[in-house]
Amino acid sequence: MSNRIVILGAGESGIGTALLAKQQGYDVFVSDGGTVKENYKKELTENNIRFEEAQHSEAEILNADEVMKSPGIPEKTELVKKIRAKGIPVISEIEFAFRYKGNSKIIAITGSNGKSTTTALTYHICKTGGADCAMVGNIGYSFAKQIAEDPKELYVAEISSFQLDDIKTFRPDVAILTNITEDHLDRYDYKMQNYIDSKFRITMNQQAADVFIYCLDDEITMKAMPGFPIKSTLAPFTMNNKSLPQGAYLTNAKLHLKWKSEEMQMNISDFAIKGKHNNYNSMAASLAATVVDIRKEAIRDALQTFQSLEHRMEPVATIKGVEFINDSKATNVNSTWFALESMEKPTILILGGVDKGNDYTLLKDLVKEKVKAIVCMGIDNRKIHEAFGETVSLIVNTGSAQEAVQAAFHFANKGDVVLLSPACASFDLFKNYEDRGKQFKQAVKEL
C-alpha cells in the first residue's frame, strides 16, 4: 500500500484527512500555501503530524505516493501540474475517507442549488428516525475526521463537484443530484459539459442495489442523463408527473412518496420550510430517508420540525412591520431566483459582491413582479445597474452591510420584506458568505 501521503491545503478537509491517515499508519505531511488556522495547527501538533505553511516544499511533495488535494485548489496551479506530470495519484478527501468507512452507509448529495438544505433536512429526518448518523462534507464536519473520531452507521454527506473530480472508488449507497445550473464555470474551462460530467461522477461507481435520486423537472439533468452509464436504481422526483412507478411527486398540494411496495402522502402545508424550491428539497430528502428505511412517521415529524439553515432564507427580525431575511448563502443567480420566487410580499432586494460571470436576465421577470427597490452591496455594481435599471426605479449603491440595511429599511414600508440574497460571492467586502450573513444580522439588530 502507498504509505506516504501529502495533503495539500490545511482546511477542514485537509486536517480531517491528516488525522485519519495518521490513525491508519500513513506517513503524513501537510502543506498549505497560506496560513493555517490556530485550532488546526494545534490538532496537527498534538497528533505529531508534520506540516508547513505559507509555502510548498516541492521536494517533499513530489516524493509522495499519493496526494490529497483540497477542493479549493484548482487543477491549473503549477504545483498540481507537476504532481500530475510525475504520475502521482491525486485523490479528494471523500475518496480517502471512503476507504475506511467500514460497513457504514452513505447518502451523498450534490447539485448546484439546494444541496445544503437537502443535506441538513435528510440528516434531520434520519436523526428523527433514530439512525446512528452524522452530517459531513461541505457542511459541518469533514467526512474523514468524522470516521477518525466518531464513526457512525450512516453518513449524510454534502459533496461539491470539486470533491467529485478526484474520486476513484467512492460509491454512495444513495446519491442525490438536486439540479444543475451554471456555476463555477471558471474551474471547468467555461465548458458547461465539463461541469455536468463532474456532477454525474456521483453515480460513477454505483451498482444496481444503490439508488440515484434526481429531479425529473431539471432540464439540464434530464438532457445529460442518457450520456452516462448509470447502473443504479432510479428514484426520480417531480412536480409535473403523477404516474411514477417509484419516486416522489407533488400533486394537489400533497407529497406522494412511492418506494418498493409502499406509498405515503403528506400535505405540503405541514412542511416547516416553504417555497417551491424547498418542496423539491423535501422530496429528495424524504426519498433518501425512505431508501435507508426510515419510518414514515419519522419522515412526517421531521418535515414539520426542520429549522432552516443559518444564512439560507433565515428570518432575522421584523422591525416596524418590515421583515428581514438573510439568504447570504445565495452566491449565484439561481439561488437568488429561488429566494425571490418564494417571496409573497413587496421586496427590497440586497444584491451584489464578486460576480462569477453572472447573467442577471434570469431574474428580470421576478424582479419586475416582486421587487420595489434594489440595494447594491459590493465594490463593482455596474452590471446590476445595467440589468435592472429599466425595471426598478430605485437602485442605490452601498459599501457595507450596515449601509445596505439602513438604505433598505429607508425604502421599506410596513408589510414589506428586506431580502439579502446577493447572487454573488462575498470576497470583496467580507471573508465569506457566513461573515456577510452575520454582519447583515448585526446591522438589523442595530436598527
pLDDT, residue 243, reads 77
Higher per-residue pLDDT: 431 or 285: 285
Using alpha carbons, list the distances in angstroms from residue 4 to 7, 8, 89, 370. Answer: 10, 13, 12, 57
Of 27-36, 173-182, 239-248, minimum mean pLDDT range: 239-248
Domains annotated for the chain, with CATH where assigned, are 4-91 (3.40.50.720), 95-305 (3.40.1190.10), 314-446 (3.90.190.20)
**From the centroid of its chain, how far is CA 181?**
13
Q: Considering Cα of 8, then 10, then 12, then 15, what sign does the dihedral take? A: positive
DSSP 425: B
Q: What is the rounded average pLDDT of the residues 318-343? A: 91
Sequence-ordered strand ranges (E) for 285-436: 314-319, 322-326, 347-351, 371-377, 394-398, 417-420
**pTM (2 d.p.):** 0.78
**Confidence band, pLDDT 50/70/90 cuts, at residue 441:** very high
Q: Is the pLDDT of residue 1 over 60?
A: no
Mean pLDDT (the chain) is: 93
C-alpha to C-alpha distance for 107 and 119, rounded to whole angstroms = 9
pLDDT, residue 2, reads 60
**Confidence band, pLDDT 50/70/90 cuts, at residue 132:** very high
pLDDT, residue 311, reads 85
Q: Is the pLDDT of residue 161 over 80?
A: yes
Q: Is the pLDDT of residue 242 over 80?
A: no
Higher per-residue pLDDT: 285 or 2: 285
Maximum pairwise Cα distance, the chain: 66
Of the chain, the percentage scoring pLDDT greater than 90 comes to 79
pLDDT tens digits, 388-417 = 999 999 999 999 999 999 999 999 999 999
Q: What is the rounded average pLDDT of the residues 127-137? A: 96
Using alpha carbons, list the distances in angstroms from residue 445 to 322, 401, 406, 435, 439. Answer: 13, 12, 11, 15, 10
